[in-house]
């Protein structure tokens, strides 16, 4: 399995409009963060986690030509406002399966009513909705959805074999931690240094990493107070800051289908 960080920035992106801080004016390409999104390549299949508001740029940069599945963590704008740009892939391949929780689908049907209502003369994104309620097998990967608190919303983290993507959460409940043991690679929310009402901050993220003991961890969803060259050298061994365009190979054995494909 290979993962590619399509975006690693918080909801407003970095640089932030109108800001002259050292990160927003940095020359370091690792300080330029599109909104969070991740691409998984596995045995010729492509799985996208969150069609971010920057999806078009991200897909062009990644050379994306097809998507076998889209997983959605939750329906905040930064994570789903790229849904309309999935049309370009629909033209090439037709409709694609999309997996989200029942709560997220309620929001998506409302936010993208034009895409799910009766067809009209204009083109629209074509997604085949699947409600993900438990473990499933996707493109040969064992997928475990993990419920996480995120303000007044519940986000899904996703474990795929020994890789997990966990963003937009203010805590990892015990039930979530149990599902995140024995990981090779964990990608974890880390919005800033100071505590945040709906996200993990640095100290909390590092504490969970110490508890879960993945072989390695990458921090993502970072705001502009995190400057890559400043924080990266201070992190514990095995913990790194993600950056846009970073590709990481994750050792991953195929898992036999465990339950339904939905």
CA atoms within 13 A on the CB side of 113: 1
Q: What is the dihedral of CA 238, 177, 192, 84, to 10 degrees?
A: 100
Among 168, 200, 202, 243, binds Zn ion (CB under 5 A): 168
Inter-residue contact 242 to 8 (CB < 8 Å): yes
| Token pair in block for residue 109 | 């049907």
| 19 contributes a contact to Zn ion by CB under 5 A | yes
Please check whether residue 42 is in contact with residue 139, taking contact to mean a CB–CB distance below 8 angstroms: yes
How near is the Cβ of 165 to Zn ion at its closest, in Å? Answer: 12
DSSP tally for the chain: helices H, then strands E: 8, 14
Which C-beta is closer to Zn ion: that of 124 or that of 196?
196
- Among the listed ranges 21-29, 106-114, 207-215, 251-259, the one in contact with Zn ion (CB under 5 A) is 21-29
* Integer Cα distance of 74 and 72 in angstroms: 6
Q: Which of residues 73-102 bind Zn ion (CB under 5 A)?
A: 76, 78
Q: Which stretch binds Zn ion (CB under 5 A): 59-67, 81-89, 206-214, 222-230?
A: 222-230
| Pairing of the two strands 96-100 and 69-71 | parallel
Is 21 a residue that touches Zn ion (CB under 5 A)? yes
| Residue 166 CB, nearest approach to Zn ion (Å) | 12
Q: By CB under 5 A, which span of 112-120, 186-194, 218-226, 240-248 interacts with Zn ion? A: 218-226
As measured in angstroms, the least distance from the Cβ of 71 to Zn ion is 14
Q: In the complex, which residues of this chain contact Zn ion (CB under 5 A)?
A: 16, 19, 21, 24, 76, 78, 168, 224
């Amino acid at each position: 399995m290979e993962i590619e960080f399509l975006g690693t920035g918080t909801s407003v992106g970095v640089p932030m409009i109108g800001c002259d801080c050292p990160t927003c004016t940095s020359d370091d390409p690792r300080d330029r963060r599109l909104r969070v999104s991740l691409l998984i390549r596995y045995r010729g299949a492509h799985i996208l986690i969150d069609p971010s508001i920057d999806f078009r740029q991200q897909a062009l940069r990644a050379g994306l030509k097809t998507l076998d599945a889209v997983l959605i963590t939750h329906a905040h704008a930064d994570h789903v406002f790229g849904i309309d740009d999935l049309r370009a892939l629909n033209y090439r391949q037709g409709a694609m399966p999309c997996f989200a929780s029942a709560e997220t689908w309620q929001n998506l049907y409302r936010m993208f009513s034009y895409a799910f209502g009766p067809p009209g003369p204009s083109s629209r994104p074509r997604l085949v909705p699947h409600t993900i309620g438990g473990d499933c097998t996707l493109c040969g990967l064992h997928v475990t959805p993990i419920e996480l608190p995120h303000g007044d919303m519940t986000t899904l983290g996703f474990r795929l074999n020994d890789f997990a993507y966990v963003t937009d959460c203010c805590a990892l409940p015990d039930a979530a931690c149990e599902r995140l043991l024995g990981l090779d690679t964990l990608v974890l929310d880390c919005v800033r240094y100071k505590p945040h009402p709906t996200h993990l901050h640095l100290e909390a993220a590092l504490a969970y990493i110490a508890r879960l003991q993945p072989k390695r961890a990458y921090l993502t969803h970072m705001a502009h107070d995190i400057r890559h060259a400043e924080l990266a050298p201070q992190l514990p061994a095995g913990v790194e800051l993600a950056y846009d365009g970073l590709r990481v190979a994750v050792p991953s054995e195929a898992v036999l289908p465990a339950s339904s494909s939905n």
